[in-house]
Chains A and B, each alone.
Chain A
Amino acid sequence: MADYILETKNLFKEFRGFTAVSGVNLQIQRGHIHALIGPNGAGKTTVFNLLTKFLTPTSGSIHFNGDDITSEKSADIALRGIVRSFQISAVFPGLTPRENVRLALQRKLGVSYHFWKSDAILLQLDGRVMELLEDVGLVDYADEITGELAYGRKRALEIATTLALDPELMLLDEPTQGMGVEDVDKITALVRKVSTRRTILMVEHNLKVVATLADRITVLQRGAILAEGPYAEVSQDPLVLEAYMGSAHA
C-alpha cells in the first residue's frame, strides 16, 4: 500500500448553503509533488484553508501521517510540519526580507516569548537566513523594505520563508501567479530543487509548470474531484478537457 502523508476523508465545506468543497477524498503520497488544478472558483484555495484550519470543515476529516488533525488549531498544524503559502502573496511588508525569513527560523530558538532579551540574539540565524535568500536569488535585497520589492520577488521571499521552517508538507497556492516567464522558470526550478526531501501540494494554473513538476494531479471542479492521476493520463481525460481546458483557455 502506498504511503500517504496526507489524506482527507469526505471533506465538505459549506458557506451559507453554498457548497464550496464537496466530498473531497485527497490522498497525497509522501515525496510527491502533487498538483491541485481546476477552474476559477473550483474550491482549491478553500481546500488549502481547510487543511491548515484557516477554515473549519463542515464535515469530513483530515489525517496527517496517520493522525487525525481535523480539530487542531492552525498554529499547531504548522508545528506538525504542514506549512502553507498564500495565493495573495503573504509577506511581512514593513519588514526586510532578512527579517521575514528570520521570523520563520526564530521559533526554533525558543526565545520568541522573551521580551526582556535583545533581538541581537537573533543574529546567530543570519547565516541560514542568507543561505535561504541565496536559494531564491534575493541576497541583494536582504535589507530593502519588502513591501517595495517587485511582485515576483515577494513570491520568491514567501517561498524562502516557508522553506525556512523545513516543512514536511509544503502547500503552495499558485506560486507562479502573476509572474513573467523568466520568474516562472526560476520558481519551477526552485520548487523542483526543494522537493527532494519533502512533499509538496501545489495549486497551479500554469499547465506547463504542472506538466514539468507534478507526479500526480487532482482536478477539482465545483468543489468535487473530477479526475485524478498522472499528468499524461489526466490531460487526456475528455471530462477534464472539457471542464478545465475549456475555461482556462477561453
Chain B
Amino acid sequence: MSKSLWIILVVVGLVAPFIVYPVFMMKLLCFALFACAFNLLLGYTGLLSFGHAAFFGGASYVTGYLVKTGGLTPELGILGGTLFAALLGYLVGSLAIRRQGIYFAMITLALAQIVYFIALKAPFTGGEDGLQGIPRGKLFGMIDLGQTYSIGGSPVALNLYYFIFALFCLGFWVIYRTINSPFGQVLKAIRENEPRAVSLGYKVERFKLMAFVISAALAGMAGSMKSLVFQLASLTDVSWHTSGEVVLMTLLGGVGTVLGPLVGAFTVITLQSELSSVGSWITVIIGVTFVVCVLLFRRGFVGELGRLLKKSL
C-alpha cells in the first residue's frame, strides 16, 4: 500500500486529540486493534473465533489487577495482560483448531463463556462491579499518564493518549508484518485451500495455532490498553457481546483487508457514541445498519472500495 496513506494516517493519529474528544479516540484505537487482531484469524487464516472477548477482557482484568493491586507500572501491566492472553490463546487454540468451521466457532464460544464465569465468580475480579478505579500510573515509573493538559478549555490526558497511540501502532505493525511475511503467505494458503496446503507439506495445525496465539495476544493487548483508558475492567469486556461486536466491526469494514477493521471499528464506535442518547434502541439501530451494509457491501466498506480500485487495501 502507498506510503503516503500511512503517513497521513499517522499524522491524523498524532493530531487527533487536539480535534476530537480524546477518550473517544483512545476507545477507537483499542477496538480498532482488537478488530485487526481478530481479522488476522478470520480474514487471513479463515478461522472464525466467537470467543475473542475472552482474550480482550481477560487481559484487561489481568492488567487491572497487576496495576491496581500489584502496583506495577502501566507498561508492565500491559505486558502482563498481553502475555496472559497469549497463554490463554494457546490453551483455547490447541483445543479449538482440531475442529473446523462452525464447530471451531462453538468451541471458542464455549471456552470464552468459562472465562466469563471465572470473571464473575473469582475473588479477585470484583464480581458484578469489575475492577474499578484502576490507576493509570507512571510510565516506566517516570511519566505520569494521569497528567492532563488544557486544550480548548478542557483537560486532556495527552501522555496517556500518545502511549495508547504508540501501542496501537506497535500492535498494528505486528499484524501488518505477520500478514506480509512468509508465515502470512502460508496462512493465506490455508484460508484458500487447506487440503492443498497440507498436500504441499505444511503442518496446518501448527500454523493455525501460531496465528491464533498472535491474534489472542494482540486482542489481549487491546484489552489491556482499554483498562488503562477507562480505568475499568468489567464483565462486558469478557461477554459474548464483545465477541460479537468485533465480528461485526470486521465484517462491516471488510474482512481480509488491512484497513477494514479500522474503518469497521470507527463506524461502530461512532454510532455507539453518537446514538448513546437513544438508550437500548442503539442495538436495533446498529443491527439494522449492519444488515443494510452487508447487503449493499458484501465485502465490507474497504473490501468494496478495494474492488473498485482493483487494489488490495
Q: A114-B183, A116-B181 are in contact. Are A95 and B192 (CB under 8 A)?
A: yes
Q: Which residues of A contact B186 (CB under 8 A)?
A: 103, 106, 112
Number of A interface residues, CB 8 Å?
A: 36
Residue of A whose beta carbon sits closest to that of B187: A115
What is the distance, in angstroms, from A88's C-beta to the closest C-beta of chain B? 10
**B-facing mask of A62-88, CB < 8 A → 1, else 0?**
000000000001110011000110100
**Smallest CB gap from B201: residue in A:** A78
Number of A-B contacts (CB under 8 A): 101
For residue B209, give the distance in angstroms from its CB to the closest CB of chain A. Answer: 11
- Chain A: minimal CB distance from B81 (Å): 21
By a CB distance below 8 angstroms, the chain B residues around A174 are: none
Are A83 and B181 within 8 A (Cβ)?
no
Closest-by-CB residue of B relative to A158 is B196
Residue in A90, A111, A117, A121 whose beta carbon sits within 8 Å of that of B199 in the complex: A90
Q: Contact check: which of A73, A118, A121, A161 meets B200 at CB < 8 Å?
A: A161
Q: Could you say which residues of chain A place their CB within 8 Å of the CB of B203? A: 73, 75
Contact B199 A102 (CB under 8 A): no
CA distance A118 to B184 in the complex (A): 10
Contacting residues of chain A (9-63) with chain B, CB-CB under 8 angstroms: 52, 54
B193 near A: Cβ within 8 Å?
yes
Scoring B180, B185, B206, B214 by chain A CB atoms within 10 A of each residue's CB, the highest score goes to B185
Question: Is B199 a contact of A112 with CB atoms below 8 Å?
Answer: no
In the bound complex, CA of A234 to CA of B200 (Å): 33
Q: Is B196 in contact with A112, judged by CB distance below 8 angstroms?
A: no
Q: Summarize B's interface: helix, strand, loop or mixed.
A: helix
- Taking the nearest CB of chain B, how far is it from the CB of A35, in angstroms? 20
Contact A116 B177 (CB under 8 A): yes
B202, A75: Cβ atoms closer than 8 Å: yes
In the complex, the chain A residue whose C-beta lies closest to that of B186 is A112
**A119 contacts B182, C-beta separation under 8 Å:** yes
| Interchain CB contact under 8 A, B198 and A78 | yes
A113 to B183: give the CA distance in the assembly, Å. 5
Cβ-defined contact, A165 with B177, below 8 A: no
Choose from A91, A99, A119, A161 the contact partner of B181 (Cβ within 8 Å). A119
Q: Give B197-225 interface residues, CB cut-off 8 Å to A.
A: 197-204, 206-207, 210, 214
B193 engages A91 (CB within 8 Å): yes
The CA of A74 and the CA of B202, in the complex, are separated in Å by 9
Cα distance A34–B260 in the bound complex, in angstroms: 50
B159 CB-CB contact with A under 8 Å? no
- Of the A-B pairs whose beta carbons lie under 8 Å apart in the complex, a sample of 15, sorted by A's number, is A54-B195, A75-B202, A83-B200, A95-B188, A103-B189, A103-B197, A103-B200, A112-B207, A115-B183, A115-B184, A115-B210, A116-B181, A117-B181, A118-B180, A122-B185
